[in-house]
Amino acid sequence: MEQEENEQRINDELDEEEQEAEGDSENGPPLNNNQIQKHLFQMLMQAQSYEAHKAQEIDEIRENEMMERAIQESLKENPNPDVMNYEQLQELEERIGSVSKGFSDIEIGLIPAKKSTSTKEDCSICLDSVNPNDWVKTLGCGHDFHRDCIDQCLKTTKKCPCCMEEHVIV
């Protein structure tokens, strides 16, 4: 702020001196030693201001690069497939093998199965009707599916195939 005020004051003084010198420029040298010194000082101040601005930009770029590197390193150390994009999942899979956004077999086994008593429902995965005594599983959102159909589906995603609500295993 102080530097800007100094620059503005110097610019104002130079403008006044230039206007005075313009009248004399036809008859002699446009600037005297004092005016040349002020002009050089102004140019030095502008150069310093420009360098400070560029240094600040470089610092911001370096900070952003360091932040990006930290994020990438964090993902390498603690990968979370649920928040990764396709390219990140591909890279993770290359490093550690198969990557799944779904539940493990043990987690899927924790979802209770029951025998169906209704004939009015269809499994929206295989599109076959759910017959009485078929094994079904009900997700937290209330949708029912054949046990084998939903088990296979939950290995690749944690979301209900009907409403896309994420299922939570209790």
Flag whether pLDDT at 66 surpasses 50.
Answer: yes
Flag whether pLDDT at 167 surpasses 70.
Answer: yes
Rounded Cα distance between 46 and 14, Å, is 14
Flag whether pLDDT at 31 surpasses 80.
Answer: no
The neighbouring-strand residues paired with 136 are 114, 146
71-121 pLDDT, tens per residue? 777 666 666 777 778 787 778 777 776 656 788 888 888 888 888 887 678
All CATH 3.30.40.10 domain ranges of the chain, comma separated, are 105-154
Percentage of the chain surpassing pLDDT 70? 78
Tell me if the domain spanning 105-154 has CATH number 3.30.40.10.
Answer: yes
Q: State the pLDDT at residue 95.
A: 75
What Rg, from alpha-carbon coordinates, does the chain have? 36
pTM above 0.85, yes or no: no
